[in-house]
Amino acid sequence: MNTTDIINHDKQDYFPVFARYDIVLDHGDGAYLYDTDGKAYLDYLAGIAVNVVGHNYQPLVDAIAKQAAKMIHCSNLYYTEVQAEAAAKLKALSGMDKVFFANSGAEANEGALKLARKYATAKNPEKVQIITALHSFHGRTLATLTATGQEKYHQGSGPLPGGCDYVPFSDIEAIKAKINDKTCAVMLEAIQGEGGVHVPEPNYLKEVKALCEKHDALLIIDEIQAGMGGTGKFFGYEHFGIQPDIVTLAKGLAGGVPIGAFLSTAKLADTFHAGDHGSTFGGNPLACADANAVLTAITTEHLMDNAAAVGNYLLDQLKTLQQKYPTLITDVRGKGLMVGMELTKPGRDIVNDCLTKGLIINCTAGNVLRFVPPLIITNKDVDTLITILNEVLPSYAA
């Protein structure tokens, strides 16, 4: 199939749920992707914070090949060395006590919510309320869709599971007004991703944690986007000095191979028993071997330090752009290599113009350009981004 055939086939055959851009990607290398015509694109999206070690990172490619040749899958009815190793690695990085592997972010959150409900309802059958934030994103399954505080995603999917209440993000008074002794859990992203890259007030998560303790509610932090080192620390919540009860991961965990995970502190260790939760694929040998390669890379290649350093440079450079185009750019915010740039107008055309110039960026929440590149990028890759933005933005700033 040539490029046009591929696009036409997809348009005919695939559910049109993605507002796709008109390029066909073929392969990648480091921080670059290449389309079927061989055109190069500097990748500031990384498959939405997934390709944390970049494209075709050799140790990950080797781990995939080695494990595929050995054993792709068995069943969670048996032990495997790679799963034991992945769980131990995650525990060491997180200070959490128990680990479960799923296949995606939504599934990780779904499991986390089940764990929280089981823990809370054992104390009081009415302790079911889940509080989440407006503009959050937690996934597309019915329960995680419900947890997602964005009405547009709910439409047509009802009836949704009950028990969920929403509050504005980074507004402690709003949580105070909703939380009570029937609250099972508060579930938040440490830094909101899909909702527009929102960093909470410095004390917000600490105050939420204290409120949770007061009402014996659990704090679930969804680290599916902010986790895996992109913010300069392994988890986004580490910037705010808290310890959640449950943490979820997915996206970057196996560098592009599907995987998800939820982790809990020791206090929930005895909540799930044999049969209470499960997954056919979750944490299978292939996915765990790949997660091990990624987790090793993050520590041995100092990717968190790189994300922090290059992230600071990126933030500075984007703030300079903001000064240059004040009528177009209203805010630049983020931590490390998880950065958003808010515009006074929709960003999709800008994304398209960047694509033409060999740069992949993303627009979320309509008018926020989101930069979540691989953690291996360098200051030179920031300079390339800024050069292209300087070519594209003037026609929008007029």
Ligand X SMILES: *Cc1c(COP(=O)(O)O)cnc(C)c1O
State yes or no: cis peptide before 159, omega within 30 of 0. yes
Nearest to 167 by CA among 211, 124, 202: 211
C-beta of 222: minimal distance to ligand X in Å?
5
Nearest to 236 by CA among 307, 176, 183, 148: 307
Q: In the complex with ligand X, which residue's Cβ is closer, 86 or 389?
A: 86
Q: In the complex with ligand X, which residue's Cβ is closer, 16 or 125?
A: 16
* Residue 381 appears among annotated catalytic residues: no
Q: Residue 143 is which amino acid?
A: A
Q: Which of 186, 224, 253, 308 binds ligand X (CB under 6 A)?
A: 224
Q: Which of 139, 149, 163, 255 binds ligand X (CB under 6 A)?
A: 139
Q: Is 51 in the site for ligand X (CB under 6 A)?
A: no
Return the SS3 of 99. Answer: strand
Binding-site positions: 105-106, 137, 140, 222-225, 279-280
* Residue 281 appears among annotated catalytic residues: no
Binding-site positions for N(2)-acetyl-L-ornithine: 140, 279
Q: Which of 44, 57, 137, 396 binds ligand X (CB under 6 A)?
A: 137
List 100, 101, 137, 272, catalytic entry: 137
- Dihedral angle sign, alpha carbons of residues 309, 315, 318, 320: negative
Q: Is 370 in the site for ligand X (CB under 6 A)?
A: no
Q: In the complex with ligand X, which residue's Cβ is closer, 28 or 227?
A: 227
Nearest to 215 by CA among 246, 242, 184, 191: 184
Q: Looking at residue 104, what DSSP letter applies?
A: S
Q: Looking at residue 97, what DSSP letter applies?
A: S
* Residue 137 appears among annotated catalytic residues: yes
Q: In the complex with ligand X, which residue's Cβ is closer, 112 or 120?
A: 112
Which residue(s) pair with 246 in the sheet?
220, 264
User: Contact region for ligand X (CB under 6 A) — 137-145, 151-159, 209-217, 339-347?
Assistant: 137-145
Q: Which ranges constitute the DSSP H helices of the chain?
A: 3-13, 46-49, 58-70, 81-94, 105-123, 142-147, 151-154, 172-178, 204-214, 285-300, 303-324, 348-356, 379-392, 394-397
Using Cβ positions, the residue closest to ligand X within the complex turns out to be: 105
Residue with the two structure tokens 């992109």 = 230
Close Cβ partners of 300 (under 8 Å, ≥ 6 residues apart): none
Binding-site positions for pyridoxal 5'-phosphate: 105-106, 137, 222-225, 280
Q: Which of 43, 110, 189, 238 binds ligand X (CB under 6 A)?
A: 189
Q: In the complex with ligand X, which residue's Cβ is closer, 222 or 381?
A: 222
Nearest to 338 by CA among 150, 215, 198, 214: 198
Q: Which of 67, 94, 225, 231 binds ligand X (CB under 6 A)?
A: 225
Residues known to be catalytic: 137, 222, 251
Chain residues binding ligand X by CB under 6 A are: 104-106, 109, 137-139, 189, 193-194, 222, 224-225, 250-251
